[in-house]
Amino acid sequence: MAERNATLGSTIQALLEEKKYSTIKDVLVTMEPADVAGILEEIGDVRIPKIFRLLPKEQAAETFAELDPELQELLIRGFSDAELHDIIEELYVDDAVDLVEEMPANVVKRILSQANPDTRKEINDLLRYPENSAGSIMTTEYVSLRPTMTVRDAINRIRSTGVDKETIYTCYVTENRKLLGQVSVKDMILCTDESTPVSQIMDEHVISVSTLTDQEEVAQMLSKYNFLALPVIDTDGHMVGIVTFDDAMDVMVEETTEDIEKMAAILPSDKTYLRSNAWDLFRHRIPWLALLMVSATFTGMIITGFEDALAAVVVLTAFIPMLMDTGGNSGSQASVSIIRALSLGELEFADLPKVVWKEIQTAVLCGCALALLCFGKIMLVDKLIMGADVNLLTAAVVCCTMAVTVLIAKIVGCTLPMGAQKLGLDPAVMASPFITTIVDALSLLVYFGIAKALLF
């Protein structure tokens, strides 16, 4: 896809040089808003407003919603008041809210001053919901029906108001702003008698969320039930909006990226990789790097404490990286599996005993297999081929440590994320780097403990 846009982008630029505006318009109107946005971003040029003005009103608004905040700001600064007013009114209100959240204060002021009073009120209402709540991602533009309407009335209502609604396919039956039921356009089309009241064909068992429900939970529910939209109810029990599946998809991608970043010891960021500069990357990466570096002091202290043992059997040092890496890898395998299962809602704290038992069994299997392999490797590769100064007893020390380290790593790796979740912390933070640091220290203690017992 990216390549197709790239080629089209250069074609558009060539047409622009030749001032062939009507050709450009003919090409752009055939395209999806996301692709037009891609082309504008590729051109990235002072002539963007000129191209943007060629788009028909609705496509212009949809393309605008897909643009990077930088380009949105550039366009807004170039818009006349009338143009800005048209775009704001044409945008879905949840997209307008996203825009207001991204723009600097002086641009926000201009946006709000150009919006109609109704739109301004809606935007301000939505801005008041906490970040990452259902309220903050919902839209207020849904089709509401009265229970006494017939199917014919309902279809007429959709016809008169539907063009501005984010989805028309699920309609909500309300009375005094209380949600009574939902009815799909499919049900209405399949209903053979158009004079049937909607209250008769509506589904009264509506699954809804509250304005304060976490957006990740909303996305999981939409995905679980395969719904097009979920209604949102405020604390007074009134229906105030809907969250649609496309917003849920965006939330899922965003939340997963955040989880992955946390697992890699990066503070989560809203910006994509290419849009972050080196300073942004630095700020998001240095805190964990510094913290983990300092906490590696303990590992260093353990080594210092056993300096005499290491000086006596120098070859022991050579196995430290292998033991530490294997421990780290074993722990992160367990923690990452658990974190993913937690974030998909497959696991809960009550499963802890089951999980620990499963990890212990797995650790015994992995630990024994690795210990055997390691023993073979030491005696064949290290001793015979490389001629290292290692005897059977030393090999036994290394292999015992290996098995015990894997066991410790798997147990720490599965309990820490589940404990974090229980304490209301984010389990993703308990991922590889954090666990590696703990497992490093523990595995060295085991190593020197076993070495002291067997070798000295």
For position 26 contacting a copy of itself by CB under 8 A, the verdict is no
Q: What is the C-alpha separation between 418 and 182, in angstroms, rounded?
A: 38
> Sheet of 209-210: strands edge to edge?
209-210, 229-233, 239-244
Contacting a copy of itself (CB under 8 A), which of 24, 158, 412, 420?
158
Instruction: For the CB of residue 94, give the shortest distance to a copy of itself in the complex, in Å.
Output: 12
Q: Tell me whether residue 125 or residue 208 sits nearer to a copy of itself (CB atom).
A: 208
> What torsion do the CA atoms of 118, 123, 126, 128 make, to the nearest 10 degrees?
-110
Judge contact between 211 and 135, C-beta under 8 A. yes
Which member of 80, 105, 273, 424 binds a copy of itself (CB under 8 A)?
273
Closest CA to 428 of 437, 438, 436, 418: 418
String of DSSP letters for 114-151? HS-HHHHHHHHHHHTSPTTBHHHH-BS---EE-TT-BH
- Whole-angstrom Cα distance, residue 228 to residue 248? 10
| Residue (144 or 223) nearer to a copy of itself, CB | 223
Question: What residues from 94 to 133 belong to the interface with a copy of itself (CB under 8 A)?
Answer: none
Q: Which is nearer to a copy of itself, 282 or 425 (CB)?
A: 282
Could you give the string, one character per residue 31-50, with x where binding to a copy of itself holds by CB under 8 A and - elsewhere?
A: xx-x----------------
Q: Which of 7, 80, 106, 304 binds a copy of itself (CB under 8 A)?
A: 304
151, 180, 218, 221: residue in contact with a copy of itself (rule CB under 8 A) = 221
Query: Between residues 79 and 319, which has the closer beta carbon with respect to a copy of itself?
Result: 319
Count interface residues toward a copy of itself (CB under 8 A).
124
Instruction: Tell me how far, at minimum, the Cβ of 401 lies from a copy of itself, in Å.
Output: 12
Work out the number of other CB atoms within 10 angstroms of the CB of residue 16.
16
Secondary structure letter of residue 379 according to DSSP: I
Pick the stretch among 51-59, 67-75, 182-190, 233-241 that binds a copy of itself (CB under 8 A): 182-190
| Contacting residue, 26, 116, 148, 282, with a copy of itself by CB under 8 A | 282
Chosen residue from 80, 106, 272, 353 binding a copy of itself by CB under 8 A: 272
Minimum distance of a copy of itself from residue 126's CB (angstroms):
19
Nearest approach, Cβ of residue 79 and a copy of itself (Å):
25
Cβ distance 229 to 251 under 8 Å?
Answer: no
Nearest to a copy of itself of 23, 113 (CB atom): 23
- Which of residues 318 and 429 has its CB atom nearest to a copy of itself in the complex? 318
How many Å apart are CA 215 and CA 166, to the nearest integer? 18
Q: How far is the CB of 41 from a copy of itself (least distance, A)?
A: 12
SS3 179: strand
Q: Report d(CA 177, CA 193) in Å as an integer.
A: 27
Site for a copy of itself in 184-203 (CB under 8 A): 185-186, 189-190, 192
Residue closer to a copy of itself by CB (options 211, 410) is: 410
426 binds a copy of itself (CB under 8 A): no
In contact, 309 and 448? CB cutoff 8 Å: yes
**Interface with a copy of itself, residue 137, by CB under 8 A:** no
Helix 105-114 / helix 81-90 crossing angle, nearest 10 deg: 80
Judged by CB under 8 A, the chain residues 397 through 416 that form the site for a copy of itself are 402, 406
Q: Can you list the positions of beta strands (E) in 204-331?
A: 209-210, 229-233, 239-244
Residues 357-386 that bind a copy of itself (CB under 8 A): 358-359, 361-362, 365-366, 369-370, 373-374, 377, 381-382, 386
Residue 286 and residue 262: Cα distance in Å, rounded? 13
